[in-house]
């Protein structure tokens, strides 16, 4: 079964801006799915329509087989939303925020208390349960938004830039929590600017650009399209002049650090041989992150060029 099935979804805002242009997209139940795109591509509009915060202009949305127009209450019950912007009453304490959200979903108070405690504990917020929202840091607010979105135990969790502005430690702990949630069966759709996040967490991916789906594939298949790898090398000594190495593109990061881009038909052994022949000794190397970023930029740039060419 599809968790989300969207057909010919369009959205034209009042000023005439067309945010979505007949989007067709489906997400399998149990998937961990990334929706990527540059600013203004239509990601938040797409999510807003799924979560009933934005009125669609046309098209059809089904969530776990239920039509959003025909049975909005059932669809809404299935979805938990972690929005991009903080949307709390800043004067309420943490526990009350989660309890109120449970109440809006019709969960009786006694059950709501049990669930609120469970999720606040899981997200390390239980000690802060009496703290007013305005006194929480950005990272804690982000975690609270996840607890709030889970209190009615949704089958589909949608996260719009969930780790924006949080430190690495909190980000990693949130990743671990989300992976566990997905393993237990919750379908997750994620938008993010951190492509490393999508690469690390998600199985499938859609790239949205100018209101259209530019690519919809698995993360693994997308990465296979990447023909080059980039490594950062820490050198034993200083290199005064960059050697010419056939098949490898070298550039200085500093005197003792080189960045090497190599085609996939070359090997690391070949790279080391070539470096050794030029008297360059390597202490360590690391794979440069954000491989997805390169693909993403290529894809978005190509489409922009195509549109420009047609104009």
Partner 1 sequence: MSRLARDWRRYAVTFETILAKEILRFSRIWVQTILPSVITTTLYFVIFGRLIGDRIGTMDGFAYLDFIVPGLVLMAVITNSYANVVSSFYSSKFSRYIEELLISPAPNWVILAGYLAGGVVRGLVVGSAVMLVAWVFTEIRVHSLAVMLMILLMTAILFSLGGFINAIYANSFDDISIVPTFVLTPLTYLGGVFYSIELLPDFWQAISLANPLLYMVNAFRYGLLGVSDIPLGIAFGMILTFILVLGAYSLSLLRRGVGIKT
Total Cβ atoms within 10 A of residue 236: 10
What does the alpha-carbon distance between residue 105 and residue 116 come to, in Å, rounded to a whole number? 13
Minimum CB separation of residue 108 from partner 1 in Å reads 6
Tokens 């789906």 -> residue: 213
Minimum CB separation of residue 188 from partner 1 in Å reads 16
Q: Does 85 bind partner 1 (CB under 8 A)?
A: yes
Minimum CB separation of residue 53 from partner 1 in Å reads 6
**Contact pattern for partner 1 over residues 174 through 193, marking x by CB under 8 A:** --------------------
Interface with partner 1 by CB under 8 A: which range of 57-65, 75-83, 177-185, 258-266? 75-83
State which of residues 40, 106, 138, 247 lies at the interface with partner 1 (CB under 8 A).
Answer: 106
**Contact pattern for partner 1 over residues 233 through 262, marking x by CB under 8 A:** ------------------------------
Total Cβ atoms within 10 A of residue 266: 17
Closer residue to partner 1 (CB): 6 or 235: 6
What does the alpha-carbon distance between residue 201 and residue 24 come to, in Å, rounded to a whole number? 23
Closer residue to partner 1 (CB): 148 or 210: 148
Q: Considering only residues 109-148, where is the footprint of partner 1 by CB under 8 A?
A: 109, 148
Closer residue to partner 1 (CB): 112 or 245: 112
Q: Does 73 bind partner 1 (CB under 8 A)?
A: yes
Q: Does 210 bind partner 1 (CB under 8 A)?
A: no
Query: Of 175, 232, 188, 173, nearest to 35 (Cα)?
Result: 188
**Contact pattern for partner 1 over residues 30 through 69, marking x by CB under 8 A:** ------------------x--xxxxx--------------
Q: Which two tokens stand for residue 200?
A: 């690390």
Alpha carbon dihedral 251, 256, 262, 266, in 10-degree steps, equals 140
Number of residues that bind partner 1 (CB under 8 A): 33
What does the alpha-carbon distance between residue 177 and residue 183 come to, in Å, rounded to a whole number? 10
State which of residues 3, 36, 63, 107 lies at the interface with partner 1 (CB under 8 A).
Answer: 107
Minimum CB separation of residue 207 from partner 1 in Å reads 23
Which positions touch partner 1 (CB under 8 A)? 13-14, 48, 51-55, 72-74, 76-77, 79, 81, 83, 85-90, 100-101, 103-109, 148, 152
């Amino acid at each position: 079964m599809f968790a989300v099935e969207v057909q010919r979804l369009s959205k034209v805002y009042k000023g005439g801006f067309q945010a979505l242009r007949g989007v067709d997209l489906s997400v399998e139940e149990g998937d961990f799915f990334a929706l990527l795109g540059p600013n203004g591509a239509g990601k938040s509009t797409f999510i807003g329509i799924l979560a009933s915060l934005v009125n669609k202009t046309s098209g059809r949305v089904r969530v776990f087989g239920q039509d959003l127009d025909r049975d909005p209450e059932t669809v809404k019950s299935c979805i938990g939303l972690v929005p991009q912007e903080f949307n709390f009453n800043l004067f309420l304490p943490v526990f009350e925020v989660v309890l109120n959200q449970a109440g809006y979903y019709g969960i009786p108070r006694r059950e709501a208390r049990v669930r609120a405690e469970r999720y606040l504990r899981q997200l390390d917020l239980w000690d802060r349960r009496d703290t007013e929202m305005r006194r929480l840091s950005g990272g804690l607010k982000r975690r609270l938004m996840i607890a709030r979105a889970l209190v009615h135990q949704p089958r589909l969790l949608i996260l719009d830039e969930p780790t924006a502005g949080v430190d690495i430690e909190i980000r990693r702990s949130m990743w671990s929590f989300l992976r566990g949630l997905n393993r237990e069966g919750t379908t997750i759709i994620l938008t993010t600017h951190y492509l490393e996040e999508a690469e690390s967490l998600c199985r499938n991916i859609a790239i949205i650009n100018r209101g259209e789906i530019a690519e919809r594939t698995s993360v693994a298949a997308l990465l296979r399209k990447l023909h080059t790898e980039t490594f950062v090398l820490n050198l034993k000594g200083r290199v005064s002049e960059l050697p010419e190495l056939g098949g490898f593109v070298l550039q200085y990061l500093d005197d003792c650090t080189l960045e090497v881009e190599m085609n996939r038909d070359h090997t690391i052994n070949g790279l080391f041989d070539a470096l050794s022949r030029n008297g360059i000794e390597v202490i360590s190397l690391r794979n440069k992150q954000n491989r997805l970023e390169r693909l993403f930029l290529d894809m978005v740039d190509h489409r922009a060029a195509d549109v420009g060419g047609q104009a």
